[in-house]
């Protein structure tokens, strides 16, 4: 309870607000101001080894397989009717313009707006402004093919029970960072309208009115940097390894994800405050906080610091609001291939937090939702995350500091602090006490022999893993020989070996079938990748993947895995070897 009261709402809210004030502007210069602010505040907190790592934002440099989009500066952008009525204005709502929109002439462009949803694409689009209810990224190739000058959209994804209609996002514009991928070497630009302004334009076009709009964008693209800022509370025993905390910057939301960054910074404040007043001893393990670009920044940090001995990772993303945003806290678990005692610890800590005030939450199976992608076994760093998504304000200009809830952020800070305190002080004398109830529940719910065998073995393994963690030892590898279903006749024994670390983002094509896999933000091709340990056969990996996905069609899973691994072998991510 004392640690719960140590949370300073005013300070945490200030962190979130200052981050939001910059990042909402979407421009490179604003992001750099955020980085300067974070660096200053980390030093003010009293963190040691404060570092600014300038990851390259050039759309070329790869961190694992993540590429940071090219730096983009936006100074002004407007879209108006010929009579001067403005329907999209960067100064009013920065999200009104899609990121990486190209610059127009100084005087702007006067263009006819046409409803691109009403007829098949063709030459009639040339020189026009394409208006659509689809995201701009879905129209960009068509616009370039037929010579359209720009895109207007009032697209807003809806989520059942969370935001169900345009009325739920009235007055807001969607944040669009996907318009032109990592760079824009064209003259194409895009605007995002609020629902009511979009509906007004749609009705006028439907009535047969010819409408000319003036579009103006003052922007530029260049090779720049996306800083990852880190700082540490040094542990008293470096041999025990480090605990890694991560949250991402450079998005326009107070909840997504200024809240995650602010909570972790406040947790570091709480920890150092407790050390200073004698409530806690200095941690045995170093606690290192890093804030930067989502996924690209965390990968860049780990690649840049191979000497750092991170043993555990906690990720915070969208943890600032619930009731206001019709959202529920989610625990993002590890993939089965990297399931650890950390998965039980976060469940039991969230359960304990119910003593302050009951709240709903759900346990989510692994998906690449955020920097929880560091749960990839290749990093040898079990990772869990708290994330409240989707939410009513998600990826829109609605995501403002006034929606942040003190009780939600206080409770989530307590959850992270409590886990951190147990992990940082764990030893043979003070082990982390767990009932392993969640893993036992997974065993009880197992639906087939392989799944039951897996969870029995995993339940034993995570106890040994926790014991090793407490001693500061590298945990034993999980290499149980399962009783796999017999493979069909004619299957050639093959083994896959990973070459490139980290999750994939670039398309992969099977040279035999021509099938293309799209792995960006997609867990499906990653689950088999994660099961690779250099010893398992493709058939065994297919069976484990099918088990994790909850099906018994092992032969179909094998065909999918083999196709994926052929594609990965071709592009150099994996070696596919005969046994």
Q: Which residues, at least 6 apart from 208, have a Cβ–Cβ distance to it below 8 Å?
A: none
Angle at which helices 538-549 and 449-471 cross, to 10°: 100
Kindly tell me if the per-residue pLDDT of 2 is higher than 70: no
For residue 375, name the pLDDT band (cuts at 50, 70, 90).
Answer: very high
Output b/e per residue, 217-231; b: 16+ Cβ within 10 A. bebebeebbbbbbbb
Structure confidence at residue 382 as a pLDDT band (50, 70, 90): very high
Q: Examine the pLDDT at 292 and tell me if it is beyond 90.
A: yes
Model pTM?
A: 0.97
Section 176-197 average pLDDT? 97
Q: For the segment 33-66, what is each residue's pLDDT rounded down to a tens digit? A: 999 999 999 999 999 999 999 999 999 999 989 9
- pLDDT tens string 479-495: 888 899 999 888 889 99
Give me 459's structure tokens: 């339940």
CATH of 74-222, one of 3.40.50.300, 3.40.50.2300, 3.40.1710.10, 3.50.30.30: 3.50.30.30
Mean pLDDT of 496-525: 94
CB neighbour burial string for 432-452, b if at least 16 within 10 angstroms, e if fewer: bebebebbeebbeeeeeebbe
Indicate if the pLDDT at residue 389 is higher than 90. no
Q: What is the mean pLDDT of residues 187-212?
A: 97
What residues contact residue 261 under an 8 Å CB cut-off, 6+ apart? 15, 16, 19, 38, 247, 248, 249, 291, 316
- Determine contact, residues 225/63, Cβ cutoff 8 Å: no
Residue 477's pLDDT is 87
Regarding the domain delimited by 494-578, which CATH topology (the fold level of the hierarchy) does it fall under? Arc Repressor Mutant, subunit A (1.10.10)
Phi then psi for residue 421, to 5 deg, are: -65, -40
Virtual torsion, Cα 343, 348, 350, 353, nearest 10 deg:
-160
For residue 4, pLDDT beyond 80: no
Domain 2-69+226-425, CATH? 3.40.630.10
Listed in sequence order, the residues at least 6 apart from 490 whose beta carbon sits closer than 8 Å to its beta carbon are: none
Model pLDDT, residue 24: 98
Question: For residue 357, how many other CB atoms are within 10 A of its CB?
Answer: 10
DSSP-assigned letters across all residues of 455-466: HHHHHHHHHHHH
Q: In the predicted model, is pLDDT for residue 241 greater than 90?
A: yes
How many angstroms separate the CA atoms of 490 and 483, rounded?
20
Q: pLDDT per residue over 124-157, tens digit each?
A: 999 999 999 999 999 999 999 999 999 999 999 9
Residues 6+ away with beta carbon under 8 Å from 562: 494, 538, 542
Percent of the chain with pLDDT over 70: 99
Spatial separation of the C-alpha atoms in residues 450 and 541, rounded to whole Å? 12
Q: At what angle do helices 538-549 and 554-571 cross, to 10 degrees?
A: 120
Are the CB atoms for 326 and 162 separated by under 8 Å?
yes
Q: Are 162 and 125 in contact (CB under 8 A)?
A: no
Helices and strands: H and E segment counts in the chain: 14, 21
- In this model, does residue 1 exceed pLDDT 60? no
Q: Is 353 left (phi over 0), alpha (psi -120 to 50) or beta?
A: alpha
Rounded to whole angstroms, the Cα distance separating 532 from 537 reads 8
**Distance from C-alpha of 103 to C-alpha of 367, rounded to nearest angstrom:** 36
Domain residue spans in the chain?
A: 2-69+226-425, 74-222, 494-578
The pLDDT tens digits of the residues spanning 316-368 come to 999 999 999 999 999 999 999 999 999 999 999 999 999 989 999 999 999 99
Contact between 510 and 567 under an 8 Å Cβ cutoff? The reply is yes
């Amino acid at each position: 309870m004392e640690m719960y009261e140590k949370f300073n709402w005013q300070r945490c809210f200030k962190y979130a607000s200052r981050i939001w004030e910059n990042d909402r502007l979407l421009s490179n210069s604003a992001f750099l101001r955020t980085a300067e602010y974070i660096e200053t505040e980390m030093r003010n907190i009293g963190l040691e080894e404060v570092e600014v790592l300038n990851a390259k934002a050039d759309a070329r440099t790869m961190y694992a397989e993540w590429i940071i989009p090219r730096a983009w500066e936006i100074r002004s952008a407007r879209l108006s009717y010929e009579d001067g009525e403005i329907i999209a204005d960067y100064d009013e709502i920065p999200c009104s313009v899609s990121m990486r929109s190209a610059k127009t002439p100084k005087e702007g462009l006067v263009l006819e707006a046409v409803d691109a949803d009403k007829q098949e694409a063709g030459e009639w689009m040339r020189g026009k402004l394409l208006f659509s209810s689809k995201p701009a990224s879905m129209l960009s190739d068509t616009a370039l093919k037929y010579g359209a000058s720009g895109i207007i959209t009032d697209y807003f994804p809806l989520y059942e029970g969370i935001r169900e209609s345009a009325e739920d996002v009235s007055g807001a514009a969607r944040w669009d960072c996907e318009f032109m991928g990592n760079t824009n070497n064209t003259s194409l630009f895009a605007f995002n309208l609020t629902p009511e302004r979009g509906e007004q334009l749609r009705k006028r076009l439907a009535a047969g009115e010819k409408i000319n709009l003036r579009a103006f964008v003052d922007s530029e693209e260049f090779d720049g940097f996306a800083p990852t800022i880190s700082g540490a509370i040094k542990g008293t025993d470096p041999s025990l390894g480090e605990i890694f905390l991560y949250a991402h910057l450079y998005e326009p939301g107070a909840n997504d994800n200024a809240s995650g960054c602010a909570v972790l910074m406040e947790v570091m404040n709480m920890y150092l405050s407790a050390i200073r007043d004698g409530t806690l001893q200095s941690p045995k393990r170093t606690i290192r906080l890093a804030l930067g670009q989502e996924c690209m920044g965390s990968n860049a940090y780990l690649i840049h610091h191979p000497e750092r001995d991170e043993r555990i990772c906690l990720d915070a993303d969208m943890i600032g609001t619930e009731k206001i945003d019709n959202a529920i806290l989610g625990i993002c678990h590890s993939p089965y291939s990297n399931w650890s005692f950390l998965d039980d610890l976060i469940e039991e800590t969230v359960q304990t937090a119910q003593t302050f005030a009951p709240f709903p939450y759900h346990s989510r199976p692994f998906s690449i939702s955020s920097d929880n992608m560091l749960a990839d076994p290749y990093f040898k760093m079990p990772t869990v995350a708290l994330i409240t998504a989707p939410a009513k304000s998600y990826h829109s200009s609605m995501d403002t500091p006034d929606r942040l809830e003190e009780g939600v952020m206080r409770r989530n800070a307590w959850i992270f602090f409590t886990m951190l305190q147990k992990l940082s002080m764990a030893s043979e004398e003070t082990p982390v006490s767990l009932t392993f109830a969640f893993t036992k529940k997974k065993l009880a719910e197992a639906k087939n022999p392989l799944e039951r065998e897996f969870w029995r073995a995993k339940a034993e393994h995570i106890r040994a893993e926790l014991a090793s963690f407490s001693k500061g030892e590298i945990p034993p590898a999980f290499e149980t020989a399962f009783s796999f279903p017999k493979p069909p006749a004619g299957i050639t024994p093959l083994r896959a070996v990973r070459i490139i670390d980290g999750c994939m983002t670039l398309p992969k094509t099977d040279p035999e079938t021509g099938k293309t896999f799209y792995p960006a933000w997609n867990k499906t091709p990653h689950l088999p990748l994660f099961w690779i340990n250099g010893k398992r056969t493709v058939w065994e990996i297919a069976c484990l993947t099918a088990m994790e996905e909850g099906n018994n069609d092992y032969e179909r899973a094998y065909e999918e895995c083999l196709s994926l691994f052929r594609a990965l072998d071709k592009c150099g991510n994996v070696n596919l070897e005969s046994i």
